[in-house]
Amino acid sequence: MNDILDEHMDNQEELFFGERFWEQYLGKRIVGDPVTAIVELVANCWDAGAKRVRVEWPEGSDGMIVIEDNGLGMTAAEFNLRWRDMSYDRIRNQGGTVDVLVDDSVMQRQVFGKNGIGRFAAFCFDSNYTVTTSKGGTLNRFRVEKGSNQPLQITHLEERSADAPGTTVEVRQAAGSILAAETIRTELGRRFLIDPAFSVSVNGVTIDFEDIENNGMELIEVPIPELDTTVLIRVIDTQRTDRTVKQHGVAWHVIGRLVGECDWKDPEQRSLIDGRRVEAKRFTFIVEADVLNGTSAIKPDWSGFDESNETFKLVNERVQTVITGWLLDVTKEKRAETTSKVRSSFSDQTREMTPLRREKWNSFVDKVAEECPSLTEQELKSVSGVLATMELANSQYGLLHKLHDLDPNQIDDLHQILAEWTVDMAKVVLDEIGGRMKLIEELRLKTNDVNALEVQDLQPLFKQGLWIFGPEFETIHYTSNEGMTSVIQEIFGREDIRGSRNRPDFAILPDSSVGFYSYPEYDAEGGEVGASKVVIVELKAPDVPLGDDEKSQCWKYVRELNEKGLIGESTQVQGYVLGRTVNPSDREERTELNGRVKIKPLPFSVILERADNRLLKLREKIKSAPFLQEAGVDDFLNDEPAEALALEDSEMVEA
């Protein structure tokens, strides 16, 4: 310790790298585990696009380890960039794939590494190693060694011409590893047999499935009686958890060639297992499906399968069933332990359930754990908590059934909505929108029905939908005025009135019904002093075209209200005369009393268009919503007579 202190006391501003730097930078397994180190070094060859790798492994505890590949190689500039940059980003600088020529066609191979730390795996065996690399007809040789004031000391040893590209790493096994060559073949075989186009030999012996046959490989035959054949699945167990999921998953071989990639998604992109789980970094399934050769199931570039091919769908279904069952069996004990912890977490809630509901909840937990192997323990707890809450809720599993029908993007959208809105807040908004959308659809149906009754069918709907006429009608203080109605009935004359016991705020004439609504005006003390605004909605029979006479009739009502003192000097009056058609020459708004009275004739189609606009034209966007189906919107859209649609369109143009 004193020697180290003395060494650095001379320059107290100098940075230095202690003995634990490389362990912290690379991780204990790369610098301390020979198997991890040799796997990383061979993975570098994979990433370089090599098709052949030669490994020389010393038989004793001392000797040279050699890893030679026929990949792309590097120029001197590329080597210096990749080795000297301690935070090198392989994906950003070189991409996530490398081109490999296979059977006269170029295949894109997914690379193993991301941050390039595998280039230093040779430090597991000694404090220095050499890299010889060739590219573009030039060979360069470098020595790489651990530094003190700098993490690395790189020396350029040689430059000369060369014929073939490739890279060779040589390091002396000075760490005293006594692993046998057979062990190295087994460990590499467990990870690098996923692609027949990638061949690795150790001490001149090419690795094949026999190297792992008795060391963690299981053979499963999958009969396909419809095709009179059997598909072979090789299950490879590394018997240890690797650093990443690379080189693990499911690999499909057809006539000795890899189709697509080796990963944990089946060819139809369904996730078989969560890549974060231990099993995902330990097992590999190699499916030998020569039966798919010549069936048009394989894409021309061998990048995957045609999912619509019937032969592939049959084979894939049988294979995935076997793989899923195998994974469920091997994770059975861990799954049981997880579900036991989940049950303990929700013991308080389950005690409140009836025995039948408790049994149902337990079954759900087991089923979710079994059918969703990608769920972590914490995620399973979250799902189970939701299920427990549902069991105690009145609607129970109705929500879960609705979630089951959502696709992944919709689930993500729902998660975002709940992140930005509370459920109560969303319900208030959606209830209001839903109610208004249903009202519009009911009006659309009724106004296109020649048999609809103004008082029984239309007036109640317009009473609910005053907001259609403008934002000032949003206030809850707009109400029907029964006292005003009785005055209006006097104005009309009782001999001409058909009364309505259920709707005292409507005055009904032979060819129309009239609704009267007012907004009160208050004095400084808060006392009501009259009407601030009066709205008259007159609905005409379908066979009555709207014109100047109808506007005059509405003005007559207003004039009588004014004479009887129901309209003050500041009261605003808005009259709407509504019907199916408007005479083209009478579409202008009529004004009286210096503009305080406005009477506007409008066709139903324009009113409904205004309603759509006020709801931001949501009708077209959400016309498939369940609450609109209840209102009969589909029947209306499908069954509405063509002449009615044409009439509505023409009136909208006129308006």
Same domain, 338 and 467: no
Specify if 3 maps to a domain.
Answer: no
The least confident of 50-54, 228-232, 418-422, 457-461 is 457-461
Does 9 reside within a domain? Answer: no
Domain's final residue, options 391, 420, 449: 420
pLDDT given for residue 445 in this prediction: 79
If DSSP codes are grouped into helix, strand and coil, which group holds residue 572? strand
For the cut 70, the answer to whether the pLDDT of residue 417 exceeds it is yes
Q: Which of 247, 253, 215 is nearest to 232 (CA)?
A: 253
The full DSSP string for 493-530 is -GGG----SS-TTEEEETTEEEEEEEEEEE-TTS-EEE
Claim to verify: residue 362 and residue 479 sit in the same structural domain: no
DSSP state of 265: B
CA 520 to mean position of chain CA atoms: 51
Q: Are residues 555 and 579 in the same domain?
A: yes
Using only C-alpha atoms, what is the Rg of the chain? 40
Mean pLDDT of 36-42: 91
Is there a single domain that holds both residue 448 and residue 464? yes
Question: Is residue 341 predicted with pLDDT exceeding 50?
Answer: yes
Element (H, E) at 161: strand 152-161
Q: Average pLDDT, stretch 31-51?
A: 90
Residue 419: pLDDT band (50, 70, 90) is confident
Shared domain for 27 and 87, answered yes or no, is yes
- Looking at residues 48-57, what average pLDDT do you find? 94
Residue 92 lies in a domain: yes
Report how many domains make up the chain: 4
End-to-end Cα distance, the chain: 94
- Asked whether residue 535 falls in the same domain as residue 647, the answer is yes
Q: What is the arithmetic mean of pLDDT over 397-405?
A: 67
Binning pLDDT at 50, 70 and 90, where does residue 136 land? Answer: very high
Residue 652: band (very low, low, confident or very high) from pLDDT cuts 50, 70, 90: very low
Q: What HEC string does 371-386 produce?
A: HCCCCCHHHHHHHHHH
Same domain for 457 and 605, yes or no, is: yes
The domain of 282 spans 216-330
Domain end call among 302, 330, 358: 330
11 within domain boundaries:
no
Task: Please tell me whether residues 278 and 343 are part of one structural domain.
Answer: no
Distances from the Cα of 139 to the Cαs of 100, 155, 648, in angstroms? 21, 15, 81
Cα dihedral 507/510/511/512 (nearest 10): 10
CATH at 198: 3.30.565.10
CB 462 within 8 A of CB 497: no
| Tens-digit pLDDT profile for residues 592-647 | 999 999 999 988 888 888 877 777 666 665 655 554 554 444 443 344 433 333 43
> Are 387 and 479 members of one domain?
no
Residue 28 lies in a domain: yes
A 10 A CB-CB count for 286 gives 22
Neighbours of 442 (CB within 10 A): 20
What percent of the chain stands above pLDDT 90? 22
Amino acid making up residue 144: V
CATH number of domain containing 277: 3.30.230
Confidence band, pLDDT 50/70/90 cuts, at residue 344:
confident
Do 320 and 402 belong to one domain?
A: no
Residue 612 belongs to some domain of the structure: yes
Residue 432 vs residue 327, higher pLDDT: 327
**Do both 142 and 84 map to the same domain?**
yes
Last residue of a domain, one of 269, 301, 330: 330
13, part of any domain:
no
pLDDT for position 645: 36
Q: Can you name the residues that pair with 52 across neighbouring β-strands?
A: 199
Task: Looking at the structure, tell me whether residues 386 and 525 fall in a common domain.
Answer: no
